[in-house]
Structure 1
Amino acid sequence: MSGAPPQPHLRGSSQVTTATPSAPSQREVNPWVVLIVLCSGFFMIMLDSTIVNVALPAMLDGLDGSLDQILWVINAYLLAYATLLITGGRLGDIFGPRNLFITGLSVFVLASIACGVSQNTTQMIIARVVQGLAGALLTPQTLTIITAVFPKERRGAAMGVWSALIGMSAIAGPIIGGVLVDGVNWRWIFFVNVPIGAVGLWGAFRFVPDLRPGRSHRLDLPGVLLVSASLSLIVYGLIEGERYDWGECWGPITIWEIIGAGVVLLIAFVVYERRPSEPLLPLALIRNRNFAVLNWLQALIAFGLMALYLPVVLFLQSVLDMSAIRAGLTMAPWAVATMFTAPFAGRLADKYGAKWVLMLGLALFSLGVGLMIAAVDLDAGFLSFLLPGFVAGGGLGLSMAPLTAEALREVPPVQVGAASGMLNAVRQVGSVIGTAVVGAVLQAQLSSSFASQARDRVAGVDAPAEVKTQLIDAFSEASDSGLQVAPGQNGGVALPDGVAPDTASTLEQVAHDVFVNGFTDAVKPTLAVPVVVLAVAALSCLAIARRRAAAEVTPAPAAAPDKAPAAAD
């Protein structure tokens, strides 16, 4: 068309025909260099979701805060991040994904500095909220830009690299955090983001094309308020449910009422989104069969990953008495397998379609978790988890890359921001639900196994009946807060007062045996939860419609952003 602005030329890629480039876009850019820049920022965001865990004890001491306050250093970040991902995707449509990526990365680096210099928990929590908001601005833009600079036939491999970072971050966080906390100071888990962010910002200005939408966009403010309020209530309820025993939280208001209010607002959001001319979340996306199924799979995979991660980490550290670094290294093969298979899976999906690659990956992921159930043993070590880790990590890598690529494959360019925001939001909510559910299951299993082990092992001890009863009751009380039991080989259970030294020594050994055997017995059925969830996900792949041939796909016009192509049956 005469008078049309020039389009960016991308080495190894198709031209981006839906964007108006600014100066950085007019140069020849290599999409793989763009991918490296995007992944540097995205990995930093994902790493901060897990790296803080290992530093909590040091932060508790350094900031002189309570345990509840320190836990909110994690939760504040997750809450802000999950709540605004959909809005962040739409803001990228309005202001340009590169601009939002740079803004999010800049704010994240500044917030990281604020975290590192915080002198009390209030300052830290505020800085973590800002980090979460910045992450929500940055994350959706990575998928938007990847979708723009890579052609469909090569997008799966690129998504494979992007997806591998998610699995890597869950494993790398405890390792990197442990090294920094033990070797330098806990504040460096935040300061380390400064040089990484600086390199990412330079790369973004230098290599990432400034893609602009082919039409102007408006922000659906009522939609933003509804979805933000609904996700905030749901995520808050899931995060805090265990702490309040799923009962009263805000005065007479219960956790379930908070979650219920969030669900009601979410329904109101979906109903409202039928009205705006340019909704925050185009409902045509949800009506697209494949996009809906793949979001369902995204939630199940995130659920399964967190439901696997939490009980295994607790077992390695609380029962096997591993340090944070050693536990992280024990799980490192999972990340290695994910890194290896994710790009390979992307290429397979590009060539053969995502359906069967996804099903294979999810089946292997489920099998790997099943093998871990057999590996959970008091004599377990690094080698015990090697094969299960490779199988589970390989399955995860085979799953995530095809899922992301296929979910965005037929989404019109003007809707990619909203679609990527939804994919990431679903992943975060799935992670929170997985943590909450497996936490509740583990606590219930601990209650049963501790009581059973205590009764069986105390019965043979030569001690007064009231002393035995007190010890059994002590373990019953410990199981009520099973996820707070600390390493120490007895779950922190105090022995009854006034016990003779010889009897006390015997009871200490009994308490040790009850704890390690009870915890081991509880972890095994708890890990059955992600096995079942991932098996359901594998079967759900049958609902994915076949990929349409290129001749069947008609690109949606830019002027109709709420018209997503339907998947072929």
Structure 2
Amino acid sequence: MGLGVFMGLLDVTVVNVALPTMVRDFQTTFTDLQWVLNAYTLVYAVTLLIMSKLGDMYGRKKIFLGSLILFVVASAINGMAPSLLILDISRGIQAIGGAGMMSLSMALVASNFDGKRRGLALGILGSVIGVSSASGPLIGGYLVEHFGWPAIFYVNVPFGILAVILTVIYVNETPSYGKNHKVDLIGMGLSAVGLFAIIYGLIVKESHPHWTWLDPRVSGLIAGGIVIMIVFVFAELKADDPMMDVTFFKRPHFLGTISVAFALGCGIYAYNTFLTALMQNYIGYSAVQTGVRQLTISGWSLVLGPVAGILSARYSKKWMIVGSLVIAGLGFFSMANAVTPTVTFTGLWPGMVLMGIANGMVNPLLNTAGMEGALPNEMGMVSGLLNVFRQFGTTVGVVGLGLIQDAQYENHLNAHLPSISMPAKALSGIKDALINAGPFSGHGVAFSDKMQHAPFAHALQQIVIKAYDNGMIAVAISSAVVVLLGALGAAFLMRNQINSQDIELKQRH
């Protein structure tokens, strides 16, 4: 289960560091290559719930194995892809396998272990989730640097085959709870289309930050997706064999766990994207150097996952989650304070350690808490929903934090660029170039060879760096607010202990 989760989540982020090499090999642009990322993100999020339901109905081990094999085959095709179109399509197929592995792994662990052993096993799985989400730059950077971009896909093949063998031998199958049920094709279709529209709308907004939220190309997708999801809820309430029991959302404890999953994605995981850009684009570390330093965050998951699993059997998971999210908030405030024009890893590491401790504790505790109160036939769907909200939170966070960063960056440029003595036409052209490049790439414009020889180069560069810093400070503070709101949600909604038998009796009543 751990191998499947690691590969499935790693492939969400590992491609980022390979993009410059892929641009050269495919002789294309970064804009066209975005679909190598977006195809996986979209299909992964859209199919999580569907794969969860199929596992609950027909046996989680069967669907997990099928997903694992599909993921391995698609990974091999990715590495051999002769064109960008083939790569985009196979990335989407690979995402279906990744969604099946991710959504069913937690439920399989929960059904294969019980008592204190379940808490420890889910804790270990949580540590794998934490490590894989932050390891992309290190693993991807090393593979691309030494073996080329196809290696980031080929590496899945031997580990995937090993995971298949281990699953066949050691994992027990769960009952097929849907033997006498019909597949809810309407529910599956509505959920897939609704989630696709919402997430694609957010991706469109991220790609076009200067489009307003009311632009039909953005609002039409998001509003249409929300309407479809409302129709989905009503359809599920009337269906004889619904894809999802929407009464999940009447349970305060479940609402508390998904609020934590959303905060984790929107705060910590989304922030990693901006932290990577800071370390590579502005401080100047290579992908491998960045990944090694980010072990300050991900390394804690290896240490704390099993510890959290053991502690969860003795102490309140609810209050450990609340405390950990507060620690994450302190970490973000530390990061905001550390960001200056001369920032180095020395200034960043205390905040990164606090983020790592929080991530290392919350993920395994969330897995265990999420499964509390879930009936055996519900575990796959509960696992899928936790992963959907974690992934949805990451997507919302990347878009939302990006817009906050863009706004602060542009405000500083607009306020301070006029102070540079140069012709108005030249100033306007440089400002447009910097704004179009955005915070991530503005550094490349300001420090380009052409700009270096200009008499105003130093003043311009200082303004661009300060504009970027203002954006990063705003991003860190916003992330702190998100995780602290998640802590409040956990404090008010989660329960210390949930008994699945009590829920079953209430459902019967």
Listed as ranges, the gaps of 5+ residues in structure 1 are 1-37, 460-464, 496-502
1:184-210 superposed Cα distances (whole Å, 9 cap, x missing partner): 111111011111101111111111112
Whichever of the two has the greater Rg, that structure is 1
Corresponding residue of 1:544: 493
Deviation at 1:171, TM superposition (A): 2.3
Corresponding residue of 2:159: 196
Map 1:93-112; keep pairs closer than 5 Å.
93-112=56-75
| 1:177 partner letter | G
Q: 2:317 aligns with which of 354, 370, 376?
A: 354
Deviation at 1:132, TM superposition (A): 0.7
Deviates more, 1:76-85 or 1:293-302: 293-302
Corresponding residue of 2:184: 220
Q: Whole-Å Cα distance in 1 between the matches of residues 94 and 257 of structure 2?
A: 28
1:309-331 superposed Cα distances (whole Å, 9 cap, x missing partner): 12222211221122111122221
Give the TM-score normalised by the residue count of structure 1: 0.84
Deviation at 1:212, TM superposition (A): 2.1
Matched, 1:235 2:199: yes
Change (3 A) 1:118 1:564: farther
Corresponding residue of 1:466: 423
Matched, 1:407 2:370: yes
Q: Whole-Å Cα distance in 2 between the matches of residues 428 and 45 of structure 1?
A: 12
Corresponding residue of 1:318: 281
Deviates more, 1:228-237 or 1:159-168: 159-168
| 1:485 partner letter | S
1:11-67 superposed Cα distances (whole Å, 9 cap, x missing partner): xxxxxxxxxxxxxxxxxxxxxxxxxxx101110111111110000011111122232
Q: Whole-Å Cα distance in 2 between the matches of residues 555 and 505 of structure 1?
A: 70
Deviation at 1:414, TM superposition (A): 0.7
Map 1:372-451; keep pairs closer than 5 Å.
372-451=335-414
Corresponding residue of 1:511: 460
SS of 2:13's partner is coil
Q: 2:51 aligns with which of 88, 91, 95?
A: 88
| 1:539 partner letter | L
Listed as ranges, the gaps of 5+ residues in structure 2 are none
Q: Whole-Å Cα distance in 2 between the matches of residues 244 and 489 of structure 1?
A: 19
Q: Percent identity?
A: 25
Q: Per residue, is there more helix in 1 or in 2?
A: 2
RMSD across aligned C-alpha pairs, in angstroms?
A: 2.4
Corresponding residue of 2:471: 522
Change (3 A) 1:477 1:489: closer
| 1:544 partner letter | L
Kept after mapping to 2: 8 A contact 1:294/1:407: yes
Q: Whole-Å Cα distance in 1 between the matches of residues 398 and 71 of structure 2?
A: 25
Deviation at 1:484, TM superposition (A): 5.0
Q: 2:249 aligns with which of 280, 286, 291?
A: 286
Matched, 1:133 2:96: yes
In the alignment of these two chains, the number of paired residues is 507
Deviation at 1:470, TM superposition (A): 2.2
Q: Whole-Å Cα distance in 2 between the matches of residues 53 and 549 of structure 1?
A: 40
| 1:267 partner letter | I
SS of 1:378's partner is coil
SS of 1:274's partner is helix
Q: Whole-Å Cα distance in 2 between the matches of residues 548 and 188 of structure 1?
A: 45
Q: Whole-Å Cα distance in 2 between the matches of residues 300 and 176 of structure 1?
A: 25
| 2:159 partner letter | I
Deviation at 1:177, TM superposition (A): 0.9
Kept after mapping to 1: 8 A contact 2:57/2:178: no
1:428-479 superposed Cα distances (whole Å, 9 cap, x missing partner): 11110001101111111110122334234x15xxxxx416x62355235422
Map 1:10-25; keep pairs closer than 5 Å.
none
| 1:466 partner letter | P
Deviation at 1:85, TM superposition (A): 0.4
Q: Whole-Å Cα distance in 2 between the matches of residues 391 and 426 of structure 1?
A: 23
Give the TM-score normalised by the residue count of structure 2: 0.94
Q: Whole-Å Cα distance in 2 between the matches of residues 293 and 508 of structure 1?
A: 51
Kept after mapping to 2: 8 A contact 1:474/1:493: no
Map 1:260-339; keep pairs closer than 5 Å.
260-339=223-302
Change (3 A) 1:548 1:331: closer
1:102-155 superposed Cα distances (whole Å, 9 cap, x missing partner): 111101111011100111110110010001111112211101111112214333
SS of 2:237's partner is coil
Corresponding residue of 1:340: 303
Q: Whole-Å Cα distance in 2 between the matches of residues 309 and 383 of structure 1?
A: 17
Q: Whole-Å Cα distance in 2 between the matches of residues 292 and 73 of structure 1?
A: 33
Corresponding residue of 2:444: 488
Corresponding residue of 1:11: none
Deviation at 1:284, TM superposition (A): 2.2
Change (3 A) 1:86 1:518: same
Deviation at 1:489, TM superposition (A): 7.1
Deviation at 1:487, TM superposition (A): 4.9
Kept after mapping to 1: 8 A contact 2:49/2:384: yes
Q: Whole-Å Cα distance in 1 between the matches of residues 212 and 163 of structure 2?
A: 44
Q: Whole-Å Cα distance in 2 between the matches of residues 244 and 512 of structure 1?
A: 25
Deviation at 1:70, TM superposition (A): 0.6
